[in-house]
Amino acid sequence: MTSPQRAPGGFPVVGVIGGGQLARMCAGPAAELAVSLSVLAEAPDAAAAQVIPSAPVGSHTDVDAVLAFAAECDVVTFDHEHVPPEVLAALEERGVPLHPSPAALVFAQDKLAMRHRLTEIDVACPAWAQARTAADVETFAEQVGWPIVAKTPRGGYDGKGVRVVGSVEELADWLERADSDAAQGSGPLRDGLLLEEKVDFVRELAVLVARSPSDQAAAWPVVETVQTDGICTEVLAPAPDLDPHLAAVATEAALRIAEDLGVTGVFAVEMFEVRDPETGAPEYVVNELAMRPHNSGHWSMDGAVTGQFEQHLRAVLDLPLGSPAPRAPWTVMANVLGGDYPELYPAYRHVMARDPGLKVHLYGKSVRPGRKIGHVNVSGTDLADLRERAQHAADYLTGVVTE
Amino acid sequence: MTSPQRAPGGFPVVGVIGGGQLARMCAGPAAELAVSLSVLAEAPDAAAAQVIPSAPVGSHTDVDAVLAFAAECDVVTFDHEHVPPEVLAALEERGVPLHPSPAALVFAQDKLAMRHRLTEIDVACPAWAQARTAADVETFAEQVGWPIVAKTPRGGYDGKGVRVVGSVEELADWLERADSDAAQGSGPLRDGLLLEEKVDFVRELAVLVARSPSDQAAAWPVVETVQTDGICTEVLAPAPDLDPHLAAVATEAALRIAEDLGVTGVFAVEMFEVRDPETGAPEYVVNELAMRPHNSGHWSMDGAVTGQFEQHLRAVLDLPLGSPAPRAPWTVMANVLGGDYPELYPAYRHVMARDPGLKVHLYGKSVRPGRKIGHVNVSGTDLADLRERAQHAADYLTGVVTE
């Protein structure tokens, strides 16, 4: 195991469990801040392991590996939300400072726990129910009408673990699995399914905030996220034509949730923008929570005074937070998904030549169709132009257009 | 030796000879571009070795070490200008792509060669002479008047190797050394001393450009540099109240020098702003050249669409260059010099708390009085306010003020 090297002068080591692109994108800000990183990586060629000197290979489910890793770090944070509760408990028992804490993280790991808690603290959510049986599903569907959205409470991301269904039969396998999980007292469906009304939304928004253990908090502007086949493909920062009152209440809700749940680090609240059925007033309902830097915040790397990866490091170290102010009227982020060719470099040359203002961010990942392998940001004053530029670059890097 | 790990998809490895802060500050942009770095480092804890996984330890004067290092890289560039000609020749002989090339680099390594060449291509320089004897010095001083500036042609930086002298006696030791270097045919003074008039300048400017092997070039706005005791302490970007004609001719000069000398990568031209003694018109004379990312360009990391470290990587890889456009009306950079206390972290917390808009960049170096250990950038619209903020932060990190 390569030990992390500490910068002289009293500087700390931040451990990140998981070596994906979120850990990788901490590397630049960490180097500038003289904060050392250590990453518990899935493999020697994991995205983050390519760029961070201390990247021991180990599984986030292996208690011994995680404890040995954490012993060399001052604080530990996460590249993803999949560290099992027993591993988190072992870390906590050893006194390892964890950000976010296991007590907070459970609300990002378990969507049923999240819905219960948000409802308790009066945050607007879609109509929802916990369902263990076909009868539970029928009852809920009678209230909200078919189709409904069904989710596995644990383990889903990027649309996985989510189904839009028009009948109870389409959930037969999940209900069966819920029975066996419940019998065993473990598994993603041990508490049943989360059912939600299918929200008739105007668009999707995200509020990204950071909160430190000292309770300092900072919020970036509310952004619009565009999803394609359940994957975020584009982010517009700030959300165009957003009602100022909605922006204020959505931001207030995210900050309130962060405080109530005790979140530390960067925290994303994905929301639907809806209309009050009676008054037509713009409102939000909360869709998902993520307790880490998030795809909806990648724009901030180039578009804000303090990008989300720098802010996450500052937050988990309880350093004063940086300004989340935007640096341009608009920044557009487009995700680069893997296409059907392996050599990315020629396309990369092309997009750089076409657009000298483009900021290209790649994750060092091999190309597989549909895999998030990078993103581009572009900032300026003409939103339509920025969207065209970002989308062209992303499409070209994906191989969708070859011009 | 840790081998560099290449990102999948046809991405290259850039080798950097020297593991100082300039190599270190390439790490963030390289990670985002999926360009792998490998650094030939002075020590395992060199500034760049702390943040770059492939950082074999070896001397830039050791031909075998340099060749072994270069064999794993697609192109090789430099953290400093001290690689000896025989090492450069050995690399060139093996066909290693070097940026800048040895033929260009000589003009940054040898100030006499630089003065000869710039004079040949009609770039404005101070009055200058090559001196081997006391009589040569006296003759030059009669032409331009005492005091004069004497420089060792090779090996100087940050004011080292530069003397302002009022009499030939103050150069007695250098003239003696010039005799013995000439007799041996080697040494920094083998061709004598470079003498220059002491320029009566209004202020110091720097023009930073990048040039690629394909002859694409890009120039950042001309900046003002403020020197204290021969060390750059502050940079104002762009140079306030700069005459637009002077900005144009200074930029044209830098681009012309880059092309004429065949420079590839980032290239800094340090200039004096002077007044035509007859017309009073603003003019420049060239002071020094640097063929690498340069202190006068640190502002661009936060203040320009493309920072100098990203641009250097793009240039040496012959990738299309990025936009050098500023991202704010003003950006101020202040260098952080080592003070007389070893624990930097508490001061770092303080400056972050005082100014959430501050961008702190530290080099992972131990604190020694006067050593450049970092810099801060701050961007905005009120230059006086930005200068105060940058200087306070730098002074606080240095320990000059404790408030």
**Same-domain pairing of B77 and B139:** no
CATH classification of the domain holding B173: 3.30.1490.20
Of the pLDDT bands very low, low, confident and very high (cuts 50, 70, 90), residue A400 is confident
Asked if residue B142 belongs to a domain, the reply is yes
Q: What is the pLDDT of residues A102-126, one digit of tens each?
A: 999 999 999 999 999 999 999 999 9
Could B32 and A360 be called an inter-chain contact, meaning their C-beta atoms sit closer than 8 Å? Answer: yes
Looking from the CA of A283 toward its CB, the CA atoms found within 13 Å total 15
User: What are residue A254's phi and psi, to 5 degrees?
Assistant: -65, -45
Give the distance from residue A367's alpha carbon to the nearest chain B alpha carbon, in angstroms: 7
Residue-range definition of the domain harbouring residue B252: 203-398
Q: What is the pLDDT of residue B158?
A: 56
**Same-domain pairing of A76 and A134:** no
Helix ranges (H only) for B216-307 are: 244-261, 300-303
Two tokens, residue B93: 């002989």
Asked if residue A367 belongs to a domain, the reply is yes
**Same-domain pairing of A211 and A193:** no
Asked if residue A7 belongs to a domain, the reply is no
CATH classification of the domain holding A26: 3.40.50.20
The mean pLDDT of B251-276, rounded to a whole number, is: 98
Asked if residue B117 belongs to a domain, the reply is no
Q: What is the pLDDT of residues A249-305, one digit of tens each?
A: 999 999 999 999 999 999 999 999 999 999 999 999 999 999 999 999 999 999 999
- pLDDT: is B9 or A358 the higher one? A358
Q: What is the pLDDT of residue A157?
A: 53
**Same-domain pairing of A227 and A363:** yes
The mean pLDDT of B281-306, rounded to a whole number, is: 98
Q: Kindly identify which residue of chain B lies nearest to residue A7, measuring between CA atoms.
A: B364
Q: What is the pLDDT of residue B221?
A: 98
The mean pLDDT of A73-84, rounded to a whole number, is: 96
Give the distance from residue A121's alpha carbon to the nearest chain B alpha carbon, in angstroms: 31
B340 contacts on A by Cβ (under 8 Å) = none
**Same-domain pairing of B278 and B352:** yes
The mean pLDDT of B29-42, rounded to a whole number, is: 98
The mean pLDDT of B65-85, rounded to a whole number, is: 97
Q: Say yes or no: A353 contacts chain B, CB-CB below 8 A.
A: yes
Q: What is the pLDDT of residue B117?
A: 98
pLDDT value at B155 more than 80: no
Q: Which helix (H) or strand (E) holds B36?
A: strand B36-40
Total tally of structural domains belonging to chain B? 3
Name the β-bridge partners of B305: none
B321: nearest CB among A52, A53, A356: A356
Q: Kindly identify which residue of chain B lies nearest to residue A341, measuring between CA atoms.
A: B9
- Beta-strand ranges (E) seen in B166-304 are 193-197, 203-211, 217-219, 223-228, 231-237, 265-275, 282-290
Asked if residue A168 belongs to a domain, the reply is yes
Give the count of Cβ contacts less than 8 A between chain A and B. Answer: 169
* Domain end marker among B197, B217, B244: B197
Q: Kindly identify which residue of chain A lies nearest to residue B375, measuring between CA atoms.
A: A32
CA-based nearest residue to B379, from B310, B327, B336: B327
Of the pLDDT bands very low, low, confident and very high (cuts 50, 70, 90), residue B3 is confident
* A220, A321, A345, A398: best to mutate for the B interface, most B CBs within 10 A: A345
Q: What is the pLDDT of residues B103-112, one digit of tens each?
A: 999 999 999 9
Radius of gyration of chain B (CA): 21
**Same-domain pairing of B76 and B30:** yes
Q: How far is the C-alpha of B182 from the C-alpha of B112, rounded, in Å?
A: 15
At how many degrees (to 10) do helices A134-144 and A172-184 cross?
Answer: 130
Q: Say yes or no: A5 contacts chain B, CB-CB below 8 A.
A: yes
Q: Break chain B down into helix, strand, coil percent, rounded to 5.
A: 35, 25, 40
Give the distance from residue B263's alpha carbon to the nearest chain A alpha carbon, in angstroms: 21
Q: How far is the C-alpha of A284 from the C-alpha of A277, rounded, in Å?
A: 12
* Domain end marker among A197, A225, A247: A197
Could B30 and A51 be called an inter-chain contact, meaning their C-beta atoms sit closer than 8 Å? Answer: yes
The mean pLDDT of A198-207, rounded to a whole number, is: 97
A364: nearest CB among B34, B49, B361: B34
Asked if residue A358 belongs to a domain, the reply is yes
Q: What is the pLDDT of residue A1?
A: 43
Task: Give yes or no for a contact between A318 and A157, defined as CB atoms under 8 angstroms apart.
Answer: no
A33 contacts on B by Cβ (under 8 Å) = 360, 362
The mean pLDDT of B267-287, rounded to a whole number, is: 97
Q: What is the pLDDT of residue A45?
A: 96
3-class SS of residue B121 = coil
Two tokens, residue A11: 């500087």
Q: Kindly identify which residue of chain B lies nearest to residue A27, measuring between CA atoms.
A: B28
**Same-domain pairing of B141 and B219:** no
Encoded amino acid at A306, one letter = T
Q: What's chain B's average pLDDT?
A: 95
B31: nearest CB among A7, A8, A28: A28
pLDDT value at B356 more than 70: yes
Of the pLDDT bands very low, low, confident and very high (cuts 50, 70, 90), residue B339 is confident
Residue whose token pair is 């681009």: B255
**Same-domain pairing of A149 and A170:** yes
Could A306 and B356 be called an inter-chain contact, meaning their C-beta atoms sit closer than 8 Å? Answer: yes
The overall pTM is greater than 0.90: yes
Work out the percent of chain A whose per-residue pLDDT is above 70.
98
- pLDDT: is A107 or A187 the higher one? A107
Q: What is the pLDDT of residue A340?
A: 78
Q: What is the pLDDT of residues A364-382, one digit of tens each?
A: 999 888 899 999 999 999 9
**Same-domain pairing of B192 and B214:** no
Of the pLDDT bands very low, low, confident and very high (cuts 50, 70, 90), residue A156 is low
* B317, B345, B377: best to mutate for the A interface, most A CBs within 10 A: B345
Give the distance from residue A37's alpha carbon to the nearest chain B alpha carbon, in angstroms: 9
Highest mean pLDDT among A156-165, B2-11, B46-55: B46-55
Q: What is the pLDDT of residue B403?
A: 66
Q: Say yes or no: B365 contacts chain A, CB-CB below 8 A.
A: yes
Give the distance from residue B42's alpha carbon to the nearest chain A alpha carbon, in angstroms: 16
Of the pLDDT bands very low, low, confident and very high (cuts 50, 70, 90), residue A403 is low
Q: What is the pLDDT of residue B214?
A: 97
Q: Kindly identify which residue of chain B lies nearest to residue A306, measuring between CA atoms.
A: B357
Name the β-bridge partners of B165: B148
Two tokens, residue A251: 């931001």
Q: Say yes or no: A275 contacts chain B, CB-CB below 8 A.
A: no
**Same-domain pairing of B391 and B259:** yes
Could A345 and B25 be called an inter-chain contact, meaning their C-beta atoms sit closer than 8 Å? Answer: no
Asked if residue B168 belongs to a domain, the reply is yes
CATH classification of the domain holding B220: 3.30.470.20
Degrees, nearest 5: CA angle B301-B305-B310: 55
Asked if residue A288 belongs to a domain, the reply is yes
Query: At a CB cut-off of 8 Å and minimum separation 6, what does A397 contact?
Result: A336, A339, A344, A347, A348, A351, A360, A373, A374, A376
Q: Which of residues 196-235 of A touch B (CB under 8 A)?
A: 218
Two tokens, residue A116: 């219960």
* Distance, C-alpha B379 to centroid of its chain: 22
Encoded amino acid at A239, one letter = A
Q: Say yes or no: A367 contacts chain B, CB-CB below 8 A.
A: yes
Q: What is the pLDDT of residue B1?
A: 44
* Domain end marker among B197, B216, B244: B197
The mean pLDDT of B3-22, rounded to a whole number, is: 95
Whether the upstream peptide bond of residue B126 has omega within 30° of 0, thus cis, is no
Task: Give yes or no for a contact between B374 and B336, defined as CB atoms under 8 angstroms apart.
Answer: yes
**Same-domain pairing of A180 and A228:** no
Q: Which of residues 278-337 of B touch A (CB under 8 A)?
A: 301, 305-306, 314, 319-323, 325, 327-328
Three-class HEC string of A24-47: HCCHHHHHHHCCEEEEEECCCCCC
Q: Say yes or no: A10 contacts chain B, CB-CB below 8 A.
A: yes
Q: How far is the C-alpha of B281 from the C-alpha of B124, rounded, in Å?
A: 14
Could A27 and B27 be called an inter-chain contact, meaning their C-beta atoms sit closer than 8 Å? Answer: yes
Q: How far is the C-alpha of B360 from the C-alpha of B348, rounded, in Å?
A: 8
A32: nearest CB among B45, B305, B361: B361
Burial B296-314 (b: 16+ CB within 10 A, else e): bbbbbbbbbbbbbbbbbbb
Cα pseudo-dihedral A75, A80, A83, A88, rounded to 10 = 30
**Same-domain pairing of A283 and A328:** yes
